[in-house]
Amino acid sequence: MRKLDHDQRRREIAEAAARLIAAEGMPALTTRSIAKAMNCSIGVLSHYFDGKAAIVTAAFAWASERIEQRLARALSRGISVDRLLPLIRAALPHDRQSRTEWGVRLHLWSHAAADPDAAAVLRADLERNRALLGSVIVQLQRQGEVRPDIDARGVAQMMIDSMHGMGFAALLGLHPAGHDPVSAFNVLVDDLRCGDGARRGVARDACNA
């Protein structure tokens, strides 16, 4: 029970730190700002974390965990080719909560550029996501919804890379107004589908016109 309280408190601190990172950036994450956000004194932090670096690590972990949970929840609603786009959409930043998570993620990426430990964590995260998305595609192949000749892991990697690019860009408001980056995945998804050659062939005939 004591242990539970302890872990609970750690999680609260990590979350507070994560929110601060997302909202104001790493430089604004100070022990003072965390204590203020937690409405507690500075000294408390050292009871739960061994220095600020550990809090940062925990904040990054908190966000990564949330992001994975979000993906898992989306997957739990059932898998089909037609659900791929909504799934991607659910994974990208689209509401306050997901924007916070993506905000932390972006800072984690830049943090990892100079911190090998963070980079290792990041690699592990990505590997899990790749495996997860890869297994989804394999399952769709087994369901006969996706062409069997494609490399599931390769496509998963590409989708994840693209999602990161889109997610960060969306987070920073880098897309033109009204632009829906996810719709671009239609091209890719259509390409994965079985038996839709007809429509595409027509369009392609236009070249020779």
Partner DNA sequence: GATGAATGAGGCTTCATTCAT
Partner DNA sequence: GATGAATGAAGCCTCATTCAT
Residue numbers of the site for a copy of itself (CB under 8 A)? 22-28, 103, 106-107, 109-115, 119, 122-123, 126-127, 130, 144, 147-149, 153-155, 157-158, 160-166, 168-169, 171-176, 179, 181, 183-184, 187-188, 191, 194-197, 200-201, 203-204, 206-208
Residue type, 131: A
Give the 3-state secondary structure of residue 146: strand
Shortest Å distance, C-beta 200 to a copy of itself: 7
Q: Angle CA(202)–CA(157)–CA(88) in degrees, nearest 5?
A: 70
Of the pair 48, 109, the CB lying nearest DNA is at: 48
Work out what residue 41 binds among a copy of itself, DNA, none; the CB cut-off runs from 5 to 8 Å by kind.
DNA
d(CA 187, CA 97): 28
The 3-class secondary structure across 104-118, one letter per residue, is HHHHHHHHHCCCHHH
d(CA 4, CA 40): 19
Where does this chain bind DNA (CB under 7 A)?
2, 6, 9, 29-32, 40-48, 51-53
Shortest Å distance, C-beta 110 to DNA: 17
Residue type, 145: E
Work out what residue 88 binds among a copy of itself, DNA, none; the CB cut-off runs from 5 to 8 Å by kind.
none
Of the pair 4, 207, the CB lying nearest a copy of itself is at: 207
d(CA 87, CA 1): 37
Shortest Å distance, C-beta 180 to a copy of itself: 9
Work out what residue 106 binds among a copy of itself, DNA, none; the CB cut-off runs from 5 to 8 Å by kind.
a copy of itself
Shortest Å distance, C-beta 76 to a copy of itself: 25
Of the pair 53, 72, the CB lying nearest a copy of itself is at: 53
Q: What is the dihedral of CA 118, 124, 128, 133, to 10 degrees?
A: 70
The owner of tokens 């980056």 is 181
Phi, then psi, of 147 in degrees rounded to 5: -55, 135
